[in-house]
Each structure stands twice: as structure tokens, then as C-alpha cells.
Amino acid sequence: MNKAERIKRMKVVPVSDPALAKRIPAGQVLTERFPILHEGDVPVYDLDKWDLSVFGEIDKEVKLSFEDVMKMPQTTVTRDIHCVTRWSRFDNQFSGVLFRDFLKEIGVTPSSKYVMLHGDMDYTANVSVADLDRDDVLLAHSFEGEPLTDKHGGPLRIVIPHLYFWKSVKWLRGIEFINENKPGFWEQNGFHINGDPFKEERFSGEDLPIPEDEWERKDYD
Ligand SMILES: Nc1nc2c(c(=O)[nH]1)N[C@H]1C(S)=C(S)[C@@H](COP(=O)(O)O)O[C@H]1N2
Ligand SMILES: [Mo]
């Protein structure tokens, strides 16, 4: 495939409108497609056995079923997302439970400032409690009104739209409160501890060679 064909397949959208251009962080391109990116296999679940653990530096540890999560107050948010492999996508509508509401529902007041998110298959991402305590951070079970597909992290993923998308852990199974910030999977592998796309917090040290067509070679929905 030559470059022109690749770009066509990526459905990169040129943006000239300054109001829209402002929404694209430096070094990103806009795509209409929704690439699928992850390490390892897509897990297969029996929803009756699926659970979500909340543990670590909190007053009580909690284990929830999928039904427990679905019974909590539901919110829909529409946000832009930004992947460190350089694609951004506008107006993604996710539904689920705001992290904020989730904490209230389970009656947990964290005393720690950081969280390690745990996803299958052995994936982790670190994030601060402040980055989760916002009006648009969701434990999401649906995308555009449909249950999340397994490749996009169903039955439950977290969506943290204001950070690079590697922090939005798919197949979320654990929320661990920790006293000191420590790097998760990508953060241990050269990516930035915080990951704010508008500050271009991509790498922790030297730039890593992410091929230009890294995400283009992946699957899409
Ligand atoms: N459990 C898990 N979650 C994950 C990943 C992963 O490998 N495993 N990859 C992350 C990365 S690097 C990205 S860019 C997004 C991709 O989400 P998408 O496949 O829905 O586009 O998921 C993130 N969440
Ligand atoms: Mo990514």
C-alpha cells in the first residue's frame, strides 16, 4: 500500500476550521475510524462471574458484580479522545457510571492521591485521584448507545478523555488506591507518568519510535 492509499484507509480528516483545529493536540491527526489497540488477547467473559475489585488504601475493600455497576446512576458523556500513536477522534459518546458517583455509591472516601487501574490481560495504568474526580471520567459499558464490543474493552472500561487513551484501561477489573504514584504498564515502558495530550506528555525520556502507521495497521470497528 502506498502512502496515499494508507491515508485514505485511515480516513484522516483534514481540519482547517480553527475552532476544530484547537481540539486537536499537537502532533495528532484526526480520524473518523475507531482503531483497536491493545497488548495480548481479547478476554472472554462469563458476565455472571465477572467482578470489579476496589482495594488498597481505602477504608473498606469492595467487590462488585456487573449488575451492581449497572444499578448505579448512569451518565453519558461525549468527548474527544487522543491516542499517543497520533490519532484523535472527535465526539465519542460513552455511557456508564461517573467515577465520582461510583465512589459515592460504594461509600469509599480515598485517603490516597493515586490509583492503579488494573485491566485484563495484566494491563495497568496509573492515574491521580484528581484526574478521576471530574465530570467526564466514566466507568463505561456503552459506546454510541451500544454495549462496548469486546475489542473496545467490554463489558467495562474506564474512559479518561483528557489523558492519552492508553490510560483508558479496557476490561477493567481492579481499582487500587495507592499512597505513592508509580508507573503502570506503558509508563514503565517509556511513556509519560501523566499523559496529558495538550502538553504532549508522550514519553518519560527520549522519544520512542512509534511508526507513523502503527495504528493504521491495526483493526478498526
Ligand atoms: N486492558 C487493556 N486496556 C488498554 C490497553 C491494553 O493493552 N489492555 N491498551 C490501551 C491503549 S494503548 C489504547 S490506545 C486504548 C485503545 O482503546 P481502543 O482499542 O478502544 O481504541 O486502550 C488502552 N487500554
Ligand atoms: Mo495506545
Q: What is the pLDDT of residues 24-74, one digit of tens each?
A: 999 999 999 999 999 899 999 999 999 999 999 998 899 999 999 999 999
Unique residue bearing C-alpha cell 476544530? 20
> Whose Cα sits closest to atom 9 in ligand 1?
38
Q: Decide if pLDDT at 114 tops 70.
A: yes
What predicted TM-score, i.e. pTM, was given to this entire model?
0.95
**CB–CB of 34/83 below 8 Å?**
no
How many helices (H) and strands (E) in the chain?
6, 13
Distance CA 136, CA 11 (A): 27
- Render the burial of 7-29: b for 16+ CB within 10 Å, e for the rest: eeebebeebeeeeeeebbbeebb
CA of 172 to the centre of ligand 1 (A): 11
Ligand 1, from 38, 79, 163: best to mutate by most atoms within 8 Å of Cβ? 38
From the CB of 37, is ligand 1 less than 6 Å away? yes
The rounded percent of the chain whose pLDDT value lies above 90 is 82
> Whose Cα sits closest to atom 21 in ligand 1?
36
Alpha-carbon Rg for the chain in angstroms? 17
CA of 94 to the centre of ligand 2 (A): 18
Per DSSP, the residues of 65-90 read -HHHHHTS--EEEEEEEE-TTSEEEE
> Whose Cα sits closest to atom 5 in ligand 1?
38
Locate the ligand 1 atom nearest the alpha carbon of residue 171 and give its number.
Answer: 1
3-220 belongs to which CATH class?
alpha beta
pLDDT score for 130: 98
> Whose Cα sits closest to atom 10 in ligand 1?
166
Range list of β-strands (E), 99-137:
114-119, 123-128
Q: What is the pLDDT of residues 160-194, one digit of tens each?
A: 999 999 999 999 999 999 999 999 999 999 999 99
Q: Where are the alpha helices (DSSP H) in 112-184?
A: 129-132
**CB–CB of 37/215 below 8 Å?**
yes
Q: What is the pLDDT of residues 78-97, one digit of tens each?
A: 999 999 999 999 999 999 99
3-state secondary structure of 171: coil
CA of 186 to the centre of ligand 2 (A): 9
